[in-house]
């Protein structure tokens, strides 16, 4: 019988991210070639290659001849980028500190051509000045076999510092069902004034309230600026596993 994953047992989780420190996508090459490379251009476009190490050629199984132009309707959200990669026999990818609905237009940080050994992960980070947010995922992937499929997440506190000249700063929590590809906003409240540390607590009766996911889902915490977002975001919580 599966036990309550929030109560038994818990794995503490504390994450801090700063500008350009949150990861949008993790991907790996699972094709038959000896080597693969990924490049993110200054405008956020992605190029994928594979082949003999040092002589890789574009992988036509992804994008348009190996290139994803994120300014086009085919690849302008992370959902579209992710689904295209996972539709190839050569690549696997999943989101970390990002949502499927998030715009991918010029959002990824520039990356010079990076070589990936087969079956090793590469992280693609976000450019905070474009994304206008910092984000943290609390919880494990839901579509992996084993105890991870039984996980649930909870949040005890969120501490943020946002520096913005004008506009608004919001703290948001989303519950994500990776299998169903749903992302539900479960909490939204104004953050602190510019440069002022703001802490929101979610502990009631010894556990996180409000910021809790259903079994098999995970949470994404965001500090979202209306026009600018720079500073730091910390989420403290736990991941509960069933047995």
User: Which of 42-51, 116-125, 213-222 tops mean pLDDT?
Assistant: 42-51
CATH number of 10-21+130-240: 2.60.120
Does the pLDDT value for residue 144 go beyond 60? no
Does the pLDDT value for residue 4 go beyond 60? no
Kindly indicate the confidence band of residue 184, based on its pLDDT and cuts at 50, 70 and 90: very high
Write out the residue limits of the CATH 2.60.120 domain(s) in the chain: 10-21+130-240
Mean of per-residue pLDDT scores for the chain: 89
179 SS3 class: coil
Nearest to 123 by CA among 233, 7, 3, 40: 40
Q: What is the pLDDT of residue 229?
A: 81
Q: What is the pLDDT of residue 2?
A: 41
Q: What is the pLDDT of residue 208?
A: 64
Quote the pTM value.
Answer: 0.90
- 40 versus 211: the higher-pLDDT residue is 40
Mean pLDDT of 57-65: 97
Which residues 6+ apart lie within 8 Å of 48 measured at CB?
36, 37, 38, 58, 59, 62, 63, 66, 67, 68, 91
Residue 126 DSSP label: B
Mean pLDDT of 116-122: 88
Kindly indicate the confidence band of residue 13, based on its pLDDT and cuts at 50, 70 and 90: confident
Q: What tokens were used for 193?
A: 């004034």
Q: What is the pLDDT of residue 207?
A: 66
Does the pLDDT value for residue 174 go beyond 80? yes
The rounded distance, in Å, linking the Cα atoms of 238 and 217 is: 13
The rounded distance, in Å, linking the Cα atoms of 224 and 243 is: 36
Alpha helices, H only, 28-91: 78-86
The rounded distance, in Å, linking the Cα atoms of 69 and 44 is: 8
Q: What is the pLDDT of residue 183?
A: 96
Q: What tokens were used for 21?
A: 């420190």
Q: What is the pLDDT of residue 242?
A: 56
- 219 versus 241: the higher-pLDDT residue is 219
Nearest to 103 by CA among 66, 138, 132: 132
């Amino acid at each position: 019988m599966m036990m309550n994953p929030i109560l038994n047992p818990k794995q503490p989780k504390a994450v801090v991210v700063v500008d350009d420190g949150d990861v949008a996508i993790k991907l790996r090459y699972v094709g038959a070639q000896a080597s693969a490379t990924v490049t993110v251009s200054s405008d956020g476009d992605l190029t994928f290659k594979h082949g003999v190490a040092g002589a890789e050629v574009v992988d036509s199984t992804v994008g348009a001849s190996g290139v994803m132009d994120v300014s086009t309707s085919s690849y302008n959200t992370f959902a579209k980028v992710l689904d295209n990669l996972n539709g190839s026999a050569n690549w696997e990818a999943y989101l970390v500190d990002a949502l499927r609905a998030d715009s991918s237009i010029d959002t990824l940080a520039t990356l010079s051509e990076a070589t990936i050994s087969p079956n090793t992960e590469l992280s693609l980070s976000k450019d905070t000045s474009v994304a206008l947010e910092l984000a943290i995922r609390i919880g494990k992937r839901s579509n992996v076999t084993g105890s991870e499929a039984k996980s649930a997440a909870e949040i005890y506190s969120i501490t943020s510092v946002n520096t913005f000249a004008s506009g608004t700063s919001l703290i948001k929590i989303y519950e994500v069902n990776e299998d169903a590809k749903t992302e539900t906003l479960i909490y939204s409240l104004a953050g602190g004034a510019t440069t002022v540390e703001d802490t929101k607590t979610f502990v009631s009766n010894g556990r996180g309230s409000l910021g809790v996911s259903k079994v098999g889902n995970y949470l994404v915490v965001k500090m979202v600026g209306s026009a600018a977002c720079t500073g730091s975001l910390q989420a403290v919580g736990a991941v509960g596993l069933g047995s």
